[in-house]
Amino acid sequence: MKRGWKLVVAAVAIMALPALAAAQMMGGPMMGHGPVMMMHGGGMPPFPMFLRAARLTPDQRKQVDKILSENRETFHKLFQQMHQTREEMANKLLSPGDVTAKDLEPETRKLDQLHQQMMANSVKVALEIRAILKPDQIKRVAEFHQKMKSLHEQMHDLMKQMGPGPGEGPMPPPPAE
């Protein structure tokens, strides 16, 4: 169980690493998606792949484990609060009678706040982990990220060529031969 949480926390923490590296090199703000989006298919590979790409030394692995263990409880608490808030929202949506957006405002605001807290902690942890990486390791992770991005784009293009899925609109005409 402890190892599973380490991986979840690590995934959330490291997903900002390539964006942070790019932002630092370009001198601009970090761009990207939030941790929840990334954990549910939002475009970045899971942390263990990044660890492999970085090729951490045993000492670096110990440092990463320490960073993650120091932040595990915070991430766990935020995940629990987000889950609880989503359940409250679902209960309202599935209750009898009319439900309006105004009825869901408290849960929506709370989820926004929790998401901001999650992102702030993710960035903090990612920066702590990035600080222990050497320039060549950051370069390897950035190259890995670019390759994964290219694969994702290829998969997206392939899926577009297959036509829309159920509920996605009319089928395109077959290609001319």
Can you give the pTM of this predicted structure?
0.62
Rounded Cα gap, residues 73 and 38, in angstroms: 20
pLDDT at 46: 53
Q: What is the pLDDT of residues 75-124, one digit of tens each?
A: 999 999 999 999 999 999 999 999 999 999 999 999 999 999 999 999 99
**Torsion sign across C-alpha atoms 23, 28, 34, 35:** positive
Q: Which residues contact 61 (CB under 8 A, 6 or more apart)?
A: 51
Q: What is the pLDDT of residues 25-36, one digit of tens each?
A: 333 333 333 333
Mean pLDDT, the chain, whole residue set: 78
pLDDT at 170: 67
Question: What's 87-125 look like in SS3?
Answer: HHHHHHHCCCCCCCCHHHHHHHHHHHHHHHHHHHHHHHH
Residue spans per domain, the chain = 2-155
12 neighbors 118 (Cβ within 8 angstroms) = yes
Task: Determine the residue type at 115.
Answer: H
Cβ-in-10-Å burial (0-12, 13-18, 19+) of 40 comes to: exposed
DSSP E strand stretches across 89-131: none
Instruction: Check residues 23 and 128 and name the one with the higher pLDDT.
Output: 128
